[in-house]
Amino acid sequence: MNHPAKTVIITGSSSGFGLKAAKAFADKGFQVFATMRGPEGKNASVKSELEAYSDFIHVVGMDVTNDESVKSVIAGVLDKAGKIDILINNAGVMYLGITEAFSIAQAREQMETNYYGAMRTIQAVLPAMREAKSGLIINTSSMVGQISAPYFSTYAATKHALEGYLQGLRYEVAPFGIDIAIVQPGPFPTGLSAAGQEPNRTDILDSYGTLAQIPPAMFEEFGKFMKSDQAPNPQMVVDAYLALADMPTGKRPTRTAVGLVWGVDEINAAKQPIQDRVLKEMQLENVLGGADA
């Protein structure tokens, strides 16, 4: 079998950015491994859609919250493709509402997908990338990876954790010719929030009285905007993935804010020089050199 020049793995490919990205990278000639949960069950129609779209797309069942699932799938991709050029960590869940009313279990569920899920896939691909001395890992964060708004706190915590993990890791793997990049979308009409859970500590919700009505009302109005002609196009995020893939190694920005980001681009611009200065003060210039842009 003749493989396309490059291979990309995209997690969370059943909808939203992941679904669009699988098609876009196939259009660019990549061999795409589109991973999702339930490709033979609840996502069977998506599997059929993607495989009919391009012979370059291979749909694979993978659960990023399961260690063995991730290890097995990544090993299978390496066996079939021989290499992994790009990993796009796109899988995510988002629960919105009164922060105190979310249980520890609900907070942990989000962390398992959004933070530990990305760690699992990164740890699974890095040995092969280090051996090849090349690779790109794109991670879908959020504007709330830098800020935290009311009613977003448990979700924002996962993205803050992810960005903290990736910032340091970026420096560590740069000497191997591997780039780590973060894409920070603002709100987009992808259905992510609609797939979330309501807070399950109902006694706490009740104790907030009329204040508990604010999040549902706010999200209802915002949902109307997301269905309007003024809503940002999710293709903007996919275009950011493609642009990062096209950039030379060592020249990719750490963070790329996309859409309605409410000042996050300004935070990024102010933060990176400070981050770089701290490394210099730690006498780690040899790690910093060429590792950031």
Catalytic residues: 155
Residues 216 and 155: their CA atoms lie apart, in Å, by 16
Element counts in the chain: helices (H) and strands (E): 11, 7
Q: What do you get for the CA distance between the two ends of the chain, in Å?
A: 38
Q: Tokens 């599997």 appear where?
A: 47
Q: Residue 254, SS3?
A: coil
Both tokens of residue 56?
């370059």
- Return left, alpha or beta for 283; rule: phi > 0 is left, psi -120 to 50 is alpha, else beta: left
Residues 123 and 102: their CA atoms lie apart, in Å, by 29
The answer to whether residues 82 and 58 touch, using CB atoms and an 8 Å cutoff, is: no
Could you write out the DSSP letters of every residue in 176-202?
A: GTEEEEEEEE---SSSTGGGS---S-H
The answer to whether residues 185 and 259 touch, using CB atoms and an 8 Å cutoff, is: yes
Residues in the chain: 293
Both tokens of residue 132?
């090849």
- Phi, psi values for residue 136, rounded to 5°: -135, 130
